[in-house]
Structure 1
Amino acid sequence: MKISKKTSIFLITALLGTTLVGCSSQSSAGTSDNWNTIVKKAKKEGKVKSVGMPDTWANWVGTWNDIKSKFGISHTDTDMSSAQELQNFKKIGKSSSAADLGDIGINVGPTAVKQNLLTAYKTQYWDKIPSWAKDKKGYYAAGYTGTIAFITDTKNVSTKDAPTSWKDLASGKYKVSVGDVTTGAQSQYAVLAAAYANGGNEKNIMPGIKYFAKLQKANRLSSVDSSVENLKKGETQVSIVWDFNALNYSNLINEKGRYKITIPSDGSVMSGYAEVINKNAAHPYAAKLARSYILSKEGQINLAKGYARPIRTDIKIPASIKSKLLPDKDYKKIYHVKSNETWNKTTIKLAQLWQSDVLGSK
């Protein structure tokens, strides 16, 4: 996922010498293995392979480093979109390149469940996750949220022309990068955000399709991917990305004042990314351990360091970290998908609509 894609354990004092809230003697909900067993077997596996969870997306590197130092479990990742992750999970066999763990847009969760690709696992933190952000049976659970934002490169677009709303964006003269709507969750939510700002929702995506079709007819849609590398090289003008990606990219490039980041004032969408375990994982216990750590206090703060907003609202984010996020007042008109099942069905149609009604609209 994520530069190109799309970026918790209750520690047992006897094992790690640190105090985290935990329940090492209890069975982890959704699995027959207790926490001690998961830790022991995960350490024996010694590695975990992920897809869509690269170091630079939402500070995944912080979590992978923690898991390596605390448990001796090494990590590798291949960056890809949510749809590509599901295809990866279908690979089976010892020589397979299938991953153990992935991070998918929560709207893709129902498809993964229907295709029988996932292992159900409710971590120790299951009750801390809001109902909208998890599957009742434990097949997926969001670890963090993102909100669709604009990031303007003021080397290419003047600060006064940087859009602060979808209305502004529509009347601009600059190129707009939205990514691959046919496969990427971030790009699909960008279309949903435009739809919401223009009277639509997950049941009615056409206002968003029509919005982008107008940009395409005006030759304003850019095919340049909104990666940190492309932003740094100045190959983008205005990009539509998750707020945490916009903030993280700006921080990585580290050119003060170069980027203007805004949540569109006339409407945006907030959603989550869910960490899922491959049913055929080669390292299932390491995957369970990783999913648990992501939802721990430490894992959630790691995500906040990567500018993502943790799914757990019971955790207090240190002021030094929170101050680097966009202010709460910027999130005034935010839509939250009411039915992931409905949105999932819409995204399946979205690829065809994008090809026919947007890219084919010239």
Structure 2
Amino acid sequence: MQRRAALLALLCAPALAQQTADRRALEAAARAEGRIVSVGMPDGWANWRATWADLKRLYGLEHQDLNMSSAEEIERMAADGRKGTVDIGDVGFEYAAVARGRGVSLPVKPALWEQIPDWAKDADGYWALAYTGTIAFAVNRKRVARPPVTWAELFGGSHTVLIGHVGSSAQGNAAVLAAAVALGGSETQLTPALAQFARLQREGRLIVEQPSLKLLERGEIDVLLLWDFQALGMRSRLARGAPEYEVLIPADGSITSGYTPIINRHAPHPNAALLVREFIFSDAGQLNLARGYARPIRLAQLNLPEPLRQGLLDEAQYAKARLVQPAIWAWEAKKLGPIWQREVLQQARR
């Protein structure tokens, strides 16, 4: 009965959140649950570490994360069904509509809903981007004397190149799209990029592995394709003596996308999940994301300290980056995994 009451309270949350009514009741209910289980929100990604620490300090919420790709997060929620084991996830822009279509996410409008741009949110509250990122090159300066500044230079050189798990990772998918856009393609025309990645595969220069801090510290790869915030964040945490990385936005084109927290429709700790999402969109939560080098969706309303602004890349580097077309990309990205396997990974090495 208590569980049912909590879920009913959550379903009424859009109105409560918009009016900021009964905030204390929500906090008390979240404290009583005492726990939040997330997926795809590890400490080192976009500075989630600080957010989990704040939620523990302010509301006593213990936290556990299961690090998954966007596709895996949705599959986990769908597979659990009514026996939900996770509360909240963080999925890429194109996966937001997928989550709604699969029926795993709950429509909840945070209190600051009106400050989120219309392009960055679902009209019914099923999702809203909390931050954005742009595909960048992280260039190992111990291995590369002259960093490639365009996709043309990257593909025309002799560099080893790392890309994540294309087909399941929003970051890996966006890297393919960014290359395609720079080479004259689009969301529906990925052939220019696939052809170049296939050539890297045949030449033994394509590394398919999820990027990690340990991988950067080993320094065995020339160029990594990452979100700008991931590249800057991991670079800031490198151990003394590790390789130095130059982070840059390719000058001939890139893709900007974002990530949205989604609340599991069958969250085991629904009030904690709602409180977490409220915090993420608050000034404190948005500043935590900025400290992780992500660009908060409410950046225009924030008083961002100058040191944080200086930690971001020069705005001029983003001149050729464009926003992903999520409605189109959501459909095309669903097809990308098998195409990537067939046209890139199955290419025989010379």
Q: SS where residue 321 of structure 1 aligns?
A: helix
Which amino acid is 1:210 matched to?
A
2:256 equivalent in structure 1: 270
Q: SS where residue 231 of structure 1 aligns?
A: helix
User: How many residue pairs align between the two structures?
Assistant: 333
Aligned residue among 245, 250, 257 for 2:230: 245
Aligned residue among 263, 268, 275 for 1:289: 275
- Name stretches of at least 5 consecutive residues in structure 2 with no aligned partner: 1-12
Aligned residue among 132, 140, 147 for 2:127: 140
Q: Does the 8 Å CA contact 1:30/1:121 hold for their aligned counterparts?
A: no
Distance 1:63 1:355, change over 3 A: same
2:265 equivalent in structure 1: 279
Are residue 199 (structure 1) and residue 180 (structure 2) matched? no
Mapped to 2, the partners of 1:255 and 1:196 lie a distance apart of 37
Distance 1:93 1:345, change over 3 A: closer
Mapped to 2, the partners of 1:354 and 1:118 lie a distance apart of 28
Which amino acid is 2:189 matched to?
N
Mapped to 1, the partners of 2:81 and 2:318 lie a distance apart of 46
- What do residues 121-146 of structure 1 show as CA deviations (whole Å, max 9, x unaligned)? 00001111111211111111111000
- What do residues 295-323 of structure 1 show as CA deviations (whole Å, max 9, x unaligned)? 11110010010011101122121101111
2:32 equivalent in structure 1: 44
Which amino acid is 1:237 matched to?
D
Moved more, 255-264 or 109-118: 255-264
1:28 equivalent in structure 2: 17
Mapped to 2, the partners of 1:254 and 1:146 lie a distance apart of 24
2:173 equivalent in structure 1: 188
Point out the structure with the larger helix share. 2
CA RMSD across the alignment: 2.0
Are residue 223 (structure 1) and residue 208 (structure 2) matched? yes
- What do residues 94-153 of structure 1 show as CA deviations (whole Å, max 9, x unaligned)? 9x6731000000100111111100111000011111112111111111110000000011
Aligned residue among 58, 63, 78 for 2:46: 58
- Name stretches of at least 5 consecutive residues in structure 1 with no aligned partner: 1-23
- What do residues 3-35 of structure 1 show as CA deviations (whole Å, max 9, x unaligned)? xxxxxxxxxxxxxxxxxxxxx9x721499x843
Which amino acid is 1:47 matched to?
R
After TM superposition, the runs of 4+ consecutive aligned structure 1 residues lying more than 6 A away are none
Q: Does the 8 Å CA contact 2:84/2:268 hold for their aligned counterparts?
A: no
Are residue 361 (structure 1) and residue 350 (structure 2) matched? no
Q: Does the 8 Å CA contact 1:47/1:73 hold for their aligned counterparts?
A: yes
Q: Does the 8 Å CA contact 1:205/1:346 hold for their aligned counterparts?
A: no
Q: SS where residue 28 of structure 1 aligns?
A: helix
Q: Does the 8 Å CA contact 1:30/1:122 hold for their aligned counterparts?
A: no
Please give the TM-score of this superposition, normalised by the length of structure 1: 0.88
* Identical columns (%): 40
Moved more, 220-229 or 136-145: 220-229
- What do residues 219-245 of structure 1 show as CA deviations (whole Å, max 9, x unaligned)? 210134321111112232210000001
- What do residues 251-302 of structure 1 show as CA deviations (whole Å, max 9, x unaligned)? 1005587111110000011111000000110001101111110111110010
Q: Cα distance, 1:360 vs. partner?
A: 2.0
Are residue 78 (structure 1) and residue 63 (structure 2) matched? no
Q: SS where residue 235 of structure 1 aligns?
A: coil
1:301 equivalent in structure 2: 287
Which amino acid is 1:41 matched to?
A
Are residue 332 (structure 1) and residue 311 (structure 2) matched? no
Q: Does the 8 Å CA contact 1:194/1:268 hold for their aligned counterparts?
A: yes
Mapped to 2, the partners of 1:206 and 1:35 lie a distance apart of 51
Which amino acid is 1:258 matched to?
E
Please give the TM-score of this superposition, normalised by the length of structure 2: 0.90
Mapped to 1, the partners of 2:80 and 2:194 lie a distance apart of 37
Aligned 1:119-134 pairs, distance under 5 A: 119-134=106-121
Q: SS where residue 272 of structure 1 aligns?
A: strand
Q: Does the 8 Å CA contact 2:217/2:239 hold for their aligned counterparts?
A: no
Distance 1:155 1:224, change over 3 A: farther
Q: Does the 8 Å CA contact 2:18/2:112 hold for their aligned counterparts?
A: no
Distance 1:249 1:351, change over 3 A: same
Aligned residue among 298, 311, 315 for 2:302: 315
1:17 equivalent in structure 2: none
